[in-house]
Structure 1
């Protein structure tokens, strides 16, 4: 019993310490939620930008210019456009099964690093897209990043956080998801006003900021 209490006491002292590396690690890891939220929020705004539709979905663009079509369902009823939006979620669902293996066998840190690399490459494809194929490939890569990040980041946060603040730090992931969605909508509102028709590239490209943060964070955390 005495030995058990000693272990518990030492464990309690260790768990109560909130060190800078704990805070930095949790903030860096929670950027995975920011990336997820941004990817979810940015697609809705981008797909309504005229220049984006004119380049990749001219049929949809022509429908949006028709005044006799009042229903947005009729205007945006296009399989290619739906594939652009849904490919991220389909890829994320598939990647989760592989992510569970890498998280268990290779560790949480490496899994987050893989997620960050998927995000960075996916953002590059989307921001530089010249055709629909590049857009879809980019969204699939982003979906793979979402699958890996959503598997590893919450688990990492739960394991590294001291017990008494575990709930507060673990909710950072969900908080960053909502912040990412809000930020994406604000960015879309601003970039839609840019003259020259390249605002959608900026919207998609700014996703590289949380992607880079997650990648660097995965390299820095223990």
Structure 2
């Protein structure tokens, strides 16, 4: 039960950071804040490059600082970035192209900071943590549920983002920031640290000692049925 809930929620939260909305529609987003066609495409290339390069930070840091610290640090950085973007656009963007050049540059930097933090945390760790928590005998089914949740949420965000952007305007960034706050609370209260814990002792060393998930485990380390 705990690995399945965590595996699904990690995939859902990954999409509700707004990362795919930004990556899918980066040219549209940057045109909205005043970039020309060529500049907006260049900006999306920049964010894609930042995404790839920042992933290497996770490769080198994940076994040194742990999973939870990377996730929590990223939540703070993503939350502040989304809030700052929303405030700037709400204050300065009245119609397409009316925002000043300084504000546009700041928005691009904030988007890069957002993508950067996602790429070294929720992006790769959303796959790593389930691989460390699902028992071997249920891993196939568990990953099937997790991946299905990921694809479903990706589809939903891709379908509604442009409509939400048109209706909510700058407030869409506050919407994603609210989800990031929920994600942070999820990590604080429900996500255990799995660094250095072998799969075969996960129940004994993690689930049975966790203040929440221990209530779902019996004395043998299995999911309680009553």
**TM value normalised by structure 1:** 0.65
Pair 1:39 & 2:11 matched: no
Structure 1 position 158, deviation (Å)? 0.9
State the number of aligned residues.
176
- 1:164-183 to 2 correspondence within 5 Å? 164-171=137-144, 172=146, 175-176=149-150, 178-183=152-157
Structure 1 position 191, deviation (Å)? 4.0
Task: Kindly provide the CA deviation profile for residues 12-65 of structure 1, in whole angstroms up to 9, marking residues without a partner as x.
Answer: xxxxxx3xx4344334422443146x322346557547xx746523xx4xxxxx
Task: Check whether the contact 1:191–1:200 (CA below 8 A) recurs between aligned residues.
Answer: yes
Structure 1 unaligned segments of length 5 or more: list them.
1-17, 61-75
Residue among 11, 17, 26 paired with 2:7: 26
- 1:50-199 to 2 correspondence within 5 Å? 53=31, 55-57=33-35, 60=36, 76=37, 78-79=38-39, 81-129=40-88, 130=92, 131-148=103-120, 149-171=122-144, 172=146, 175-176=149-150, 178-192=152-166, 194=167, 199=168
Q: Which protein has the larger Cα radius of gyration, Structure 1 or Structure 2? A: 1
Structure 2 unaligned segments of length 5 or more: list them.
93-102, 193-226
Q: 2:180 maps to what in 1?
A: 211
